[in-house]
Structure 1
């Protein structure tokens, strides 16, 4: 393990961020907090610039939240330069949600941070960093697999009150001008893509817009028919024609009926590994 391990704190409440940094200085004096940011976009930017070994991410932050920031970092992390960092989520969730995190072996800290709980987290992080080896394909896949479980379980814990409902049959979506609402059959939708304040709904011949965030839309889709392949993209599985790697090694999908290529994030590339 490095003699001077580094960490980034992403927490939108400045008092809590300072309190965590103070407690870390006591529990882990060798740890260098290289940046403290208050939003997910800042966390992504600074983490990619500084490449810390540990990320403390608040689940609830304005704009891009902690889960979204982690997904962005998994896809953009320069794996040839540094191993994928260790994750710790900061949460204000109640005891029930915290137990759900623990069931999935997710490390978390409840607000306000308790010194005894932080010491346990520090010990786990120290043990994990001591076991790290130089990045290779196997180590990368193990890390990505862990992040997949972490993010899916954390997201489920954060949405305990919004269980999956009966799959949508039709979607009320507006045209690009916003003047007409169409009832689009779900069977015609080839993929959904988050874009700014909207989600694009793409069929073979048309593009529509809805305001429902992708995170809220996914539980309303049949998981056997629609796969999330990127933080911002969900595709219809039976529309997938092929998956190919580009010159940079990133996976892209071709859909029957659409001319564009659909990017696949590292977190979801395992879905297209040859059997």
Structure 2
């Protein structure tokens, strides 16, 4: 960070695309544009001259493309820092999305980049950059290792997989730490720039759709899971959570007030002051709460 602002490098072989990102970035005073590049090779050279906190990388560039650039950075490590730059890929196609997230990209923006979508990516970057580097104790590491081993065994079929429904699937069940006694998730596995950590379902106030992610809100903090709300909702106990909207699901005991709005809709006030409006599509779920 320089002068209290995070350093950003933008890379795209199209000058107009760089100008667009430059204009969008200028709306976020927490970030400072320090370099612009037109190729992957130029990115490597720029990072050898000086570190960056964030890379906004086009995937399709001449020579070394965006993904190959990140792979090269992992090998060369030209920065003298505790952690590498956070990466947001920007591209005209979604075909490389899975590979991008395999490289621990913070986000993946599709051209033409929408203002609101760019703003969400900046919020995710701030959450990631602001997260303290934590060194878990031996017990936490052992627990995490055991959970990940169990998930991998279930996915490979080395151990009996827990029961799942068509909406969820075994992979989501394993990723979300379902308990064998009832099939519902007990924790979420959250990935960030430093690795992975757990959020207990018992601490979750609500979950909401956020682009290609679901935001899990616990203790006032948003934790992003790369999953659809439809799949994640199937892992939550309906005795504890209720779906009130296509984009929102809330813990029942966090609801403090319900006000009818007509047409089967309700305005909900949660314990932390958050206000949501249910949709008519989920009016039956709301009615069950009142019985």
Q: Same fold judged by TM-score > 0.5? A: no
Q: TM-score range by the shorter chain?
A: 0.3 to 0.5
- Larger Rg, first or second structure (1 or 2): 2
**TM-score, reference length from structure 1:** 0.44
